[in-house]
Structure 1
Amino acid sequence: MSFNDNIHLDPSRVGTSGAGRKAAGVGGGSLLGVLLILGFSYVTGIDLTSLISSPSSTSSSSGSTVDVSTCRTGADANARVECRMVATAQSLDEVWKAQLAQQNTGVSYELPDFQVFTGSVSTACGSATSAVGPFYCPGDSTVYLDLGFFEDMVSQYGASDSELAQEYVVAHEWGHHIQNLQGVFRTYDTRETGEQGAGVRSELQADCYAGVWMHWASTTPDPTTGTPYLRTPSADQVMGALQTAEAIGDDRLQSKYQGTKNPESWTHGSATQRATWLQKGLDSGDIATCDTWSASRV
């Protein structure tokens, strides 16, 4: 999915330094967006806590920073990954602002922060290094991403290198922000593991929400130019996003790195589950379709 060349980008939408909001505390499920630490992607039953420090009241980052100051147009987003993050964030903002209102969810959209970092980052959920993949912290309503993850996603996990696959990863973390606005982390114990557990249901809902964004992204306009942020994705681009969802399924990662599958320890869902729920959101564009909590099985 490529961006239309003439859309307007606001570089200030993405933070690359430590400026963050003060946090009131961390709710349940605050670390479920963290990808797996020691050499592979999502958590597959391995404890993350050794890399997480105690919560802090502000979020800040250290190490070198990414320069997004020259990200001004969709053409920049098509050419450079850091600019693609700016465009993706702006598109996600506009889609979710519109759809939460139009679909009568009773939830008003609030912008999350989006911090792109290198080296290490300190958040309201604790400190993490670049070995940690993309994650969402409810404590400071922020999505955190080290751009180097996209290279690892392809080289280590066999995911797609397409633009839409990268955007799916960001949209999934944005899905956790929507859950936070809906009160999901206050309602369910998303630390629960297992194929049908609350942790998996939370992650699959975030996958489905990423699909909802993909459904509406090519028809939701940039308010400055009136041009949709994104072009309609091709079948190959959609396949790349689905391939990426499958590649980071718990069963695929456990088989690759542990040599066996243990559904009782799953936290994000199998390859089939992840691709299925992403497809549900993409096909329908309906937020209600993503109600994993009411499904007898996910």
Structure 2
Amino acid sequence: MRLDDERESTNIEDVRGSGGGGRMPLRIGGIGGVVLILGALYFGVDPQIVLNLLEGGANPTENSQTVAQAPSPADDAQKQFIARVLASTEDVWTSYFSQMGKTYHAPYLVLFSGGTNSACGYAQTASGPFYCPANQKVYLDLGFFQELQNRLGAGGEFARAYVVAHEVGHHVQNQLGIMQQMNQQYGAAQQGAGSQSVRLELQADCFAGVWAKRADDAKHILENGDVESGLNAAAAVGDDRLQKETQGYAVPDSFTHGTSAQRVTWFRRGLSSGDIKQCDTFSASSL
């Protein structure tokens, strides 16, 4: 990706290595819990919603204390890259919202290591990146990118950019009132193939594609191989693929994010069109 000359976002809270303890991670028991958490592990809106349901509804906290190790030089280079990607999403969505006669309020991105408390509950590395609508922040442990590359086989800069863009896509949904409408109508815990949760996630994939298309049109940020890297990342985090890798079979009734094919399809749709009107997963008869 061509981002070396781009600005870095200042909307980053780096709490890596700050210490402080924080609430201990919740314990998850039983196959049902494992299946549910698989749906929230990668690129979710808020894995703590699932954790709270399994544990009986623990109250979220606003505390940002963290259990962490000091960042490495390699992580600092990744932080710089993430800051540039975040800045690019700010530029794209600010312009797009302006065209719609709206004002875009950019999210903050919290970098943590190990674990940290959020307004949506305890965040930990194993939960994967997620967006917390309660305080409009994205939470990311840079160690997730090693997992993405080494275990899921989805390396490359654009794969990492896709992760950030997907979470920012949830923020766009929040800003447009889509997330609130879905929660009011269907509740946050709905799951299963074709569910509103899956549609919300696939729309965030599509929004990530919209960002990439518009950013590339404006500044030619994509290089050879980037698109393939992003599509590979989308495929790597499909519910069916994750479940088959973990337990040997897929359980469609537990899907929360969509299959690999669906995630690729909707990411590609946004990437091809650059138009959020093409991302209406909620009206789509077929995903």
Question: Separation in 2 of the partners of 1:117 and 1:286?
Answer: 33
Question: Is the Cα–Cα contact under 8 Å of residues 191 and 198 in structure 1 kept in the other structure?
Answer: no
User: 1:97 and 2:94 equivalent?
Assistant: yes
**Distance (Å, rounded) in 2 between the aligned partners of 1:15 and 1:56:** 17
Could you tell me how far 1:65 is from its partner in structure 2? 5.0
Cross-structure match for 1:15: 13
**Aligned AA for 1:232?**
L
Does the alignment pair 1:6 with 2:9? no
Deviation at 1:212, TM superposition (A): 0.3
TM-score (norm 1): 0.78
Higher relative contact order (CA 8 A, sep 6+): 1
Counterpart of 2:168, as a letter, is: W
2:65 matched to 1:63? no
Structure 1 position 124 matched with structure 2 position 122: no
Match of 2:150?
A: 155
Q: Percent identity?
A: 38
Structure 2 counterpart SS, 1:82: helix
SS at match of 2:221: coil
1:202 equivalent in structure 2:
200
| Partner Cα distance (2:85, 2:193) in 1 | 30
**2:2/2:223 contact within 8 Å kept:** yes
Moved more, 80-89 or 195-204: 80-89
What is the alpha-carbon distance in structure 2 between the residues aligned to residue 37 and residue 128 of structure 1? 15
Q: Note the alpha carbon deviations across 1:148-178, whole angstroms, 9 max, x for none.
A: 000001211222x110000000000000000
Aligned length: 260
**Cα deviation, residue 36, structure 1:** 4.6
Q: State the secondary structure of the residue aligned to 2:116.
A: strand
Partner residue in 2 for 1:283: 272
What aligned pairs does 1:123-202 form with structure 2 within 5 A after superposition? 123-159=118-154, 161-188=155-182, 189=186, 190-202=188-200
- Asked if the contact 1:36/1:42 (under 8 Å) is kept, the reply is no
Aligned to 1:48: 51
Moved over 6 A (4+): none
Whole-Å Cα distance in 2 between the matches of residues 67 and 110 of structure 1?
A: 31
Within 5 Å, give how 1:99-118 maps onto structure 2: 99-102=96-99, 104=100, 106-118=101-113
CA positional deviation for 1:42: 6.3
Asked if the contact 1:215/1:284 (under 8 Å) is kept, the reply is: yes
CA distance in structure 1 between the partners assigned to 2:117 and 2:210 by the alignment:
30
Displacement of 1:41 after TM fit?
Answer: 4.2
Instruction: Indicate the SS of the match to 1:115.
Output: strand
Give the conservation status (yes or no) of the 8 Å contact 1:16–1:65. Answer: no
Q: State how far apart, in whole Å, the 1-side matches of 2:94 and 2:65 are.
A: 27
Q: Which runs of 5+ in 1 are unaligned?
A: 20-34, 69-75, 221-227
Cα distance in structure 2, aligned partners of 1:60 and 1:97: 31
1:88 aligns with 2:107: no
The TM-score with structure 2 as length reference comes to: 0.81
For 2:175, the aligned partner's letter is: L
How many angstroms apart in 2 are the aligned matches of 1:7 and 1:241? 20
Q: C-alpha deviations, 1:269-289, integer Å up to 9, x for none?
A: 000000000000000000111
Give the direction of change, closer, same or farther, for the CA distance of 1:261–1:7 in structure 2 (3 Å limit).
Answer: closer
C-alpha spacing 1:53/1:127, structure 2 compared with 1 (3 Å)? farther
With 236-245 and 202-211 compared, the bigger mean Cα shift is at 236-245
Shift in CA distance, 8/182, structure 1 to aligned 2, threshold 3 Å: closer
CA distance in 1 between counterparts of 2:142 and 2:78 reads 8
Instruction: Name stretches of at least 5 consecutive residues in structure 2 with no aligned partner.
Output: 19-35
